[in-house]
Amino acid sequence: MLDYLIVGSGLAGISFAEIALKNNKSILVIDDKSQNSSRIAGGLYNPVILKRFSEVWNAKEHLVLMNEFYDQVEDKLKEKFNFKMPILRKFFSIEEQNNWFAASDKINLAPFLSTKLITKKYQSIDSPHDYGEVLHTGYVKTKQLLESYREYLKENNLLLEESFHSSFLDFLDSGIQYKDIKARHIIFAEGFGLHKNPYFNYLPLDGTKGELFLIKAPDLKLDVIVNTSVFILPIGGNLFKVGATYNWHDKTDLPTEEGKKELLDRIKEIITCDFEIIKHFAGVRPTVADRRPIIGTHEEYKSIHLLNGLGTRGVMLGPALAKMLFDNIEYGTPIDKEADIKRFHKRYLKSINAFRP
C-alpha cells in the first residue's frame, strides 16, 4: 500500500510529492496536464503586494521554506530553476515615491523595501521619478521545473499519465483504493480542476484567468524585473515575459483579443522600443475570494486531503503549504486557521444538506 496518491503535478502537486519523498514516503502522482496555470505562470516571487504596499501572508517564513525547497530540487535534478533577481517598482510621481518610503517604515515591510532610490536609467524605459527596489525577489522557471520533475517521476515509475475519475475511488478502513491502487492517503492538488471534484467542489474556488506574452525586444536592455501595471521579466536572448491580466469571468485557458489589447496597451505605457509578440499564453489561476489557500482534510473522509488555492503565488506558497499539510497528516501539527478548509464548515454543511430528503 502506498503512503500517498497525489492528483495533479503542478506546483502544489510536486511540492507535496517532494516533501513526501524527502520523508521516505511512497507516492504515485496522477496527472493528465489538463491544468496549465503553473506551467505558463510568470514564476515571480515577491514578498510585497505592491498595489497596496502590504506584506504577502507569512512572507518571511514562506521565503525560507521556498528557498530550501528549490535548493533541494535543483540538487536532485541537477538543474537550475530558481533565479534571484531584483524587482523594481517604477514610480510615476513624487506621491508614489512618498507612499513607498512611508511603507518602508512599517516594521513588517522594512526587510523587503529598500529605502534607497534606484536612479539607473534603463534603455527604452522613461523613468523620471526613478524606482524602488523590492528585496528577496526573483523568479522560478516553472515550465522547466515541472517538466523536469515530471520526467523524474516517470523515470522512477511514480507517474500515471491519465485523467483521474472520482467514480473509481473507494474507501478502505486503512485508506483508499483507486482502481487497483491502494494508498493510506489521497492528496488532491488539481488547481482549478477542483470544480469537478465531488468531495471538495463546495469550496469557493473562484478561478482568475491570466494572460501573458513572451516578447522579443532587442532594444530593451534589462537585468532586473520591472513592475508597474504589468511585470517585465528578462529571460535572456532579448526575450521577456510580460504579464499579467486578471479576468474573473472567463474560465477558459484560451488567449483572447481583449487580453492581448490590454497587455499591449500596458506595455506601450512602459517601454518606448519596438517589440515582437512571440507567444501569447493564458491559464486559470486557482484563487479564493479571501486571498488565502485552502488546505486540509475532508470532514467525513479522513484519508482525503486538499492542497489548493495558491492563486498567483504558487511558486512562493507551494513548498510551505505542502509541508504544512504533510505535517498535519503525519504528526497532527495544526494547519494555520487562515488556510484551513475548516473555515468553510458552514458551506460543507449546506452542501451535504442539499442532498438529504
DSSP state of 261: H
pLDDT at 243: 93
pLDDT at 72: 97
Residues 270 and 127: their CA atoms lie apart, in Å, by: 9
Tell me the pLDDT band of 39, cut-offs 50, 70 and 90: confident
Give the C-alpha distances (Å, rounded to integers) separating 322 from 19, 62, 152, 333. Answer: 7, 11, 19, 13
pLDDT at 38: 80
Q: What is the pLDDT of residues 137-188, one digit of tens each?
A: 999 999 999 999 999 999 999 999 999 999 999 999 999 999 999 999 999 9
End-to-end Cα separation, the chain, in angstroms: 37
Residue 186 CB burial class (10 angstroms; 0-12, 13-18, ≥19): buried
pLDDT at 354: 60
Total residues found in the chain within this entry: 357
CB 130 within 8 A of CB 43: no
- Helix, strand, coil shares of the chain, percent, nearest 5, are 35, 25, 40
Q: Which residue has the cell 536592455?
A: 221
Helices (H), ranges, 133-248: 142-155
pTM of the entire structure? 0.94
Residues 132 and 226: their CA atoms lie apart, in Å, by: 10
CB 326 within 8 A of CB 297: no
Indicate the SS3 state at residue 206.
Answer: coil
Does the structure show a pLDDT above 70 at 296? yes
Average pLDDT over all residues of the chain: 94
Q: What is the pLDDT of residues 237-250, one digit of tens each?
A: 999 999 999 999 99
What is the percent of the chain with per-residue pLDDT over 90, rounded to a whole number? 90
Does the structure show a pLDDT above 50 at 357? no
Residues 183 and 329: their CA atoms lie apart, in Å, by: 14
Q: Could you give all domains of the chain from N- to C-terminal order, each with its CATH number? A: 2-40+143-205+289-353 (3.50.50.60), 86-136+208-285 (3.30.9.10)
User: What does residue 84 show for φ and ψ, rounded to 5 degrees?
Assistant: -75, 130
Residues 185 and 329: their CA atoms lie apart, in Å, by: 9
Residues 137 and 6: their CA atoms lie apart, in Å, by: 30
Residues 341 and 230: their CA atoms lie apart, in Å, by: 32
User: In the structure grid, which three cell numbers stand for residue 24, read together?
Assistant: 521516505
Q: Which residues have C-beta within 8 Å of that of residue 129, sequence separation ≥ 6?
A: 90, 91, 92, 93, 94, 96, 97
pLDDT at 150: 96
The sign one gets for the Cα dihedral 46, 52, 53, 55 is negative
pLDDT at 41: 83
User: In the structure grid, which three cell numbers stand for residue 247, read together?
Assistant: 479576468
Does the structure show a pLDDT above 80 at 353? no
Residues 184 and 1: their CA atoms lie apart, in Å, by: 7
Helices (H), ranges, 280-356: 314-331, 345-353
Position 357: which residue type? P
